[in-house]
Amino acid sequence: MGMKEILEFVKIEHTLFSLPFVFIGAWIAGEPTAIQLVWILVAAVGARGLAMALNRIIDREIDSNNPRTSNRHLASGSMSMKTAWSLCTLFLGMLLIGAWQLNAVALAMSWLPVLAFVIYPYTKRITWACHLWLGLCLGLAPAGAWLGIVGGDLGWSAITDWHWYPTIFWICLGVMFWIAAFDLNYALMDIENDREHNIQSFPARFGEQHTLRTSVQLTLIWFACFAIADPIDEFSFLGAALIMSLVNIGVIIGQKKLNDFQKTFFYTSVLTGWVLLGGLIAA
C-alpha cells in the first residue's frame, strides 16, 4: 500500500481541523522553540492518524452497510486489518515519541487522548451525544500542546495547581462545541442510513430542522467560550472569533441555497481555526 492510500485512509486533510488549535495551545503556553513545535507537530499528526485509524477499524461493519462509506479501505477489503493495526502502531509511536521528547508529564498523560479515541466509535451506537464526544477528542489538542510546553517547567503542578484554568479550559471547550457543530451537519448525509441501522446520530434522532437550530446554538456557544478565554485580552482574537462564528452561522442557515453545502462547510470550518490562530499571533 502506497503513501497516497495511507493518507486517504486517515483522511489527512482533516488534520487541518486540529492543527491551528494545537498551535494556539502552544502559543498560549509561552514562546515555544522551533524544536518544541516540531515534536508537537509529530505528536499531533500521530494522534490524528491514530484516532482515524481506530475509527475505521471499529466502524468497518457500519461503513460497509452505508453506501456513502462502503468503498472505504476496510469496508471494501482493499486494506487488510493487519495493515490497519500496523498503521495504528505507527501513529501511536509518533504520539508517544513526540510527547516523550517534550516532557515527562506530557508522555504520562498521553493515555488520555488514546482512551478518548477508542471510546468515540462506540458512542454513536448508544447516544446522539456522540458528536460532543468527537468534539472532546479534538478539544484535547490545545491542552496537549499547552502541556507539552509548560509541563517541562511546571511538572505535575501544571495540572494539579490548575494552571490550565481558565484560558486553556475555555479554549478546549470552545473547540469541543465547534467540532460538534460541524459534525452535526456532517451527519446529515447519513440521516436515513443511520435510522435504518440504528446509528444514534443527532440528525437521525431529531431531524434536519432541529439539527440546523442546534448547530447554530453550538456555534454561538463556541464563540462565547473563545470570548471568555480570550488568551491575549486583545480585539484581534475576539474579532476573529466573532467574524468566523457569523460566517459559520451564515453557511449553516443558507445550506439549502448552496450547491455543495458539505464542501463549503468543511472549508469554512477549516478556515475558522486558522483565522483564530492568526488573530492570536497578530496581537
Q: Is the pLDDT score of 7 beyond 70?
A: no
Q: What is the pLDDT of residues 178-231, one digit of tens each?
A: 999 999 999 999 999 999 999 999 999 999 999 999 999 999 999 999 999 977
Amino acid residing at 109 = M
Q: Find out whether 137 and 113 touch, Cβ atoms under 8 Å.
A: yes
pTM comes to 0.94
Q: Which three cell numbers stand for residue 181?
A: 457543530
Q: Is the pLDDT score of 73 beyond 90?
A: no
Q: Find out whether 108 and 100 touch, Cβ atoms under 8 Å.
A: no
Q: Which residue has the cell 469554512?
A: 268
Among candidate residues 11, 1, 12, 27, the one with its CA nearest the CA of residue 280: 27
Half-sphere exposure of 124 (CA within 13 A, CB side): 25
pLDDT band at 10, cuts 50/70/90?
A: low
Distance of CA 173 to the CA centre of its chain: 12
Q: What is the pLDDT of residue 43?
A: 96
Q: Find out whether 175 and 138 touch, Cβ atoms under 8 Å.
A: yes
- Across 224-251, average pLDDT: 91
Q: Is the pLDDT score of 6 beyond 90?
A: no
- Percent of the chain scoring above 70 in pLDDT: 96
Among candidate residues 238, 54, 22, 17, the one with its CA nearest the CA of residue 147: 22
Q: Is the pLDDT score of 233 beyond 80?
A: no
Among candidate residues 31, 44, 46, the one with its CA nearest the CA of residue 92: 46
Q: Find out whether 141 and 44 touch, Cβ atoms under 8 Å.
A: yes
Q: What is the pLDDT of residue 105?
A: 98
Q: What is the pLDDT of residue 2?
A: 66
Alpha helix stretches (DSSP H) within the chain? 3-9, 15-29, 34-58, 60-64, 73-76, 81-102, 104-108, 111-123, 130-154, 157-160, 167-186, 191-196, 202-206, 208-229, 235-253, 261-282
Q: Is the pLDDT score of 268 beyond 90?
A: yes
Q: What is the pLDDT of residue 16?
A: 77
CA dihedral for 150, 151, 154, 156, sign (positive or negative): positive
Q: What is the pLDDT of residues 19-57, one digit of tens each?
A: 999 999 999 998 899 999 999 999 999 999 999 999 999
Q: Is the pLDDT score of 1 beyond 70?
A: no
Domain of 148, in residue numbers: 3-282
Q: What is the pLDDT of residue 17?
A: 77
Q: Is the pLDDT score of 146 beyond 70?
A: yes
Q: What is the pLDDT of residue 77?
A: 86
- Across 133-143, average pLDDT: 96
Q: Which three cell numbers stand for residue 236?
A: 484581534
CATH at 63:
1.10.357.140
Q: Is the pLDDT score of 267 beyond 80?
A: yes
Q: Which three cell numbers stand for residue 60?
A: 468497518
Q: Find out whether 186 and 24 touch, Cβ atoms under 8 Å.
A: no
Cβ-based neighbour number of residue 212 at 10 Å: 18
> Number of structural domains, the chain?
1
Q: Is the pLDDT score of 82 beyond 70?
A: yes
More confident residue, 47 or 17: 47
Q: What is the pLDDT of residue 120?
A: 97
Q: Nearest 5 degrees, angle CA 267-CA 52-CA 270?
A: 15
Q: Find out whether 50 and 95 touch, Cβ atoms under 8 Å.
A: yes
- Percent of the chain scoring above 90 in pLDDT: 82
